[in-house]
């Protein structure tokens, strides 16, 4: 009630509140036109975390400056985002082909994340039939990678290439996976690369069966895809999103889930949902059993429960097998790649002895540091050997550190 009175007074007497805060300014400057968006302000005049445009039915979360938090926008009939709890927002870049584009997999993943109070801002470079090699020379792909500041970059090879003979994979796959990973590392300090492990075709790769018999069956093709994706991830210190392994589990146990589209290669919507749950679990390392059922997908509650259980068994219960770790293990706001003590909470990154290992990890404190130092020279501010009577002295220690001293008479 107090908030409503506060907003009412602003409309009646805008001059009393003008220029107090950006949110109040926006209200004071509203034109009054029907359908105009007017921000919601808290009692202190700051932007309310949840903003809704009543005439359109859209709601989203904003930061303290009123800027929309990427991935939080929900349209009519989809409820409102949870902006009260601390938001877990990721920036993800998808690089691949139609296996990701079909059924709009990135939006399926984002929708699953939203249902859990997590949010994803994403961009994509998806080209039908594209290989990793073709992406290495694609201007859009390279520019997106070089934009930097991604939490995760997903790499997906053409669906058949990883199952080809090893000499061909060594020639046509591995070098380009490595090239992309090197570019990613160069422009993204806190990024983790994820290889999207795909699956064998429903009845094997019949187009290459005569010349390469191992791919004549689903199992044979899938075994090779699994092996080569694991090699790419391990060779490039990357994460695996084991969608193909989850599909294999579903097929081995003969669950009644139709994963393939009519071509026996691309995913059905159900198959893309399975991939979406795998991606969500990989990105956020959260138990997929907690993902709520949403009837908008057209998937039964029993099917969803089964999918979540399989993803839990294959992915969530075995994160280490797929190199899946949090990008900030100690949750101190410093990503693992830059953290000087990644396993222990140390947001200030103290390193008194300058050994690039956080003090909290190597046990150094201020007393230890100076207790074991030996002063080897004393100079003045001009670098000359100093007499003991100089007002300003610079002490040089045997660990090459220096300390300035001021003598007061």
CATH code of residue 252:
3.40.50.1110
**CATH number for 24:** 4.10.800.10
Expressed as residue numbers, the domain containing 405 is 373-409
Q: Are residues 179 and 283 in the same domain?
A: yes
Q: Are residues 378 and 286 in the same domain?
A: no
How sure is the predictor about 145, in pLDDT bands with cuts at 50, 70 and 90? very high
Give the mean model confidence (pLDDT) for residues 335-342: 82
Does residue 352 lie within any of the structural domains?
A: no
How sure is the predictor about 88, in pLDDT bands with cuts at 50, 70 and 90? low
Does the pLDDT of residue 212 top 50, yes or no? yes
Q: Are residues 21 and 112 in the same domain?
A: no
Which among 57, 86, 115 is the end of a domain? 86
How sure is the predictor about 243, in pLDDT bands with cuts at 50, 70 and 90? very high
Give the mean model confidence (pLDDT) for residues 342-366: 76
What the block records as the tokens of 400 is 């090459």
Which among 40, 66, 86 is the end of a domain? 86
- What pLDDT does 15 receive? 44
Cα–Cα dist 154/42, whole Å: 39
Does residue 358 lie within any of the structural domains?
A: no
Q: Are residues 2 and 46 in the same domain?
A: yes
Q: Are residues 133 and 203 in the same domain?
A: yes
pLDDT digits (tens, 9 = 90+) for 154-190: 999 999 999 999 999 999 999 999 999 999 999 988 8
Total Cβ atoms within 10 A of residue 372: 12
Q: Are residues 74 and 220 in the same domain?
A: no
Give the mean model confidence (pLDDT) for residues 149-154: 94
- What pLDDT does 78 receive? 77
Task: List the Cα angle 378/384/388 in 5-degree steps.
Answer: 45
- What pLDDT does 293 receive? 92
Cα–Cα dist 144/153, whole Å: 10
How sure is the predictor about 239, in pLDDT bands with cuts at 50, 70 and 90? very high
- What pLDDT does 370 receive? 45
pLDDT digits (tens, 9 = 90+) for 282-323: 999 999 999 999 888 899 999 999 999 999 999 999 999 999
Total Cβ atoms within 10 A of residue 158: 20
Among 180-194, 211-225, 307-321, 334-348, name the one with the lowest average pLDDT.
334-348
Q: Are residues 198 and 99 in the same domain?
A: yes
pLDDT digits (tens, 9 = 90+) for 360-405: 887 655 444 444 556 677 777 666 775 555 666 776 766 666 666 6
- What pLDDT does 199 receive? 98
Tell me the β-bridge partners of 196.
241
Mean pLDDT of the chain: 86
- What pLDDT does 153 receive? 98
More confident residue, 72 or 322: 322
Q: Are residues 49 and 99 in the same domain?
A: no
Does residue 343 lie within any of the structural domains?
A: no
- pTM here? 0.71
- What pLDDT does 391 receive? 64
- What pLDDT does 390 receive? 61
Does residue 367 lie within any of the structural domains?
A: no
Does residue 362 lie within any of the structural domains?
A: no
Please give the C-alpha separations between residue 333 and each of 62, 90, 149, 184, 328, in angstroms, as whole numbers: 20, 13, 14, 21, 7
Which among 45, 63, 86 is the end of a domain? 86
| Total number of domains in the chain | 3
Does residue 190 lie within any of the structural domains?
A: yes
Does residue 122 lie within any of the structural domains?
A: yes
- What pLDDT does 2 receive? 47
Q: Are residues 279 and 161 in the same domain?
A: yes
Q: Which of 42-51, 78-87, 197-206 has the highest mean pLDDT?
A: 197-206
- Asked if 246 and 314 touch (Cβ cutoff 8 Å), the reply is yes
Q: Are residues 118 and 206 in the same domain?
A: yes
How sure is the predictor about 28, in pLDDT bands with cuts at 50, 70 and 90? confident
Q: Are residues 170 and 222 in the same domain?
A: yes
Does residue 335 lie within any of the structural domains?
A: no
pLDDT digits (tens, 9 = 90+) for 246-288: 999 999 999 999 999 999 999 999 999 999 999 999 999 999 9
Q: Are residues 17 and 93 in the same domain?
A: no
Q: Which of 35-39, 231-235, 382-386 has the highest mean pLDDT?
A: 231-235
């Amino acid at each position: 009630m107090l908030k409503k009175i506060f907003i009412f007074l602003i409309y009646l007497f805008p001059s009393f509140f003008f220029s107090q805060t950006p949110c109040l300014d926006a209200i004071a400057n509203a034109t009054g036109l029907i359908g105009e968006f007017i921000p919601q302000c808290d009692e202190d005049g700051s932007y309310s975390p949840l903003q809704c445009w009543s005439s359109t039915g859209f709601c989203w979360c904003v930061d303290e400056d009123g800027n929309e938090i990427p991935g939080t926008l929900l349209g009519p009939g989809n409820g409102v985002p949870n902006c009260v709890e601390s938001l877990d927002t990721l920036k993800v870049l998808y690089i691949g082909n139609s296996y990701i584009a079909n059924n709009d997999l990135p939006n399926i993943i984002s929708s699953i994340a939203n249902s859990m109070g997590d949010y994803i801002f994403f961009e994509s470079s998806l080209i039908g039939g594209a290989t990793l090699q073709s992406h290495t020379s694609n201007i859009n792909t390279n520019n997106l990678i070089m934009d930097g500041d991604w939490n995760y970059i997903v790499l997906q090879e053409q669906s058949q290439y990883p199952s080809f003979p090893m000499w061909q994979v060594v020639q046509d796959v591995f070098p380009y996976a490595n090239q992309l990973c090197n570019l990613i590392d160069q422009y993204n300090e806190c990024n983790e690369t994820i290889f999207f492990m795909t699956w064998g075709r429903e009845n094997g790769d019949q187009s290459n069966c005569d010349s390469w018999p191992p791919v004549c069956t689903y199992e044979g093709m899938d075994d090779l895809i699994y092996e080569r994706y694991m090699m790419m991830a391990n060779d490039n210190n990357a994460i695996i999103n084991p969608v193909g392994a989850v599909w294999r589990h579903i097929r081995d146990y003969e669950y009644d889930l139709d994963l393939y589209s009519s071509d026996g290669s691309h995913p059905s919507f159900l198959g893309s949902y399975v991939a979406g749950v795998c991606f969500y679990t990989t990105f956020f390392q959260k138990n997929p059993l907690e993902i709520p059922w949403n009837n908008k997908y057209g998937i039964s509650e029993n099917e969803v429960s089964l999918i979540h259980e399989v993803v839990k068994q294959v992915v969530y219960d075995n994160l280490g097998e797929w190199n899946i770790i949090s990008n900030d293990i100690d949750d101190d706001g410093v990503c693992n790649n830059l953290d000087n003590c990644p396993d222990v909470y140390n947001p200030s990154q103290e390193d008194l002895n300058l050994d690039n290992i956080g003090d909290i990890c190597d046990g150094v404190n201020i007393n230890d540091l100076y207790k074991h130092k030996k002063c080897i020279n004393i100079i003045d501010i001009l670098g000359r050997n100093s007499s003991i009577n100089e007002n300003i002295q610079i002490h040089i220690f045997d660990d090459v550190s220096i300390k300035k001293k001021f003598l007061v008479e």
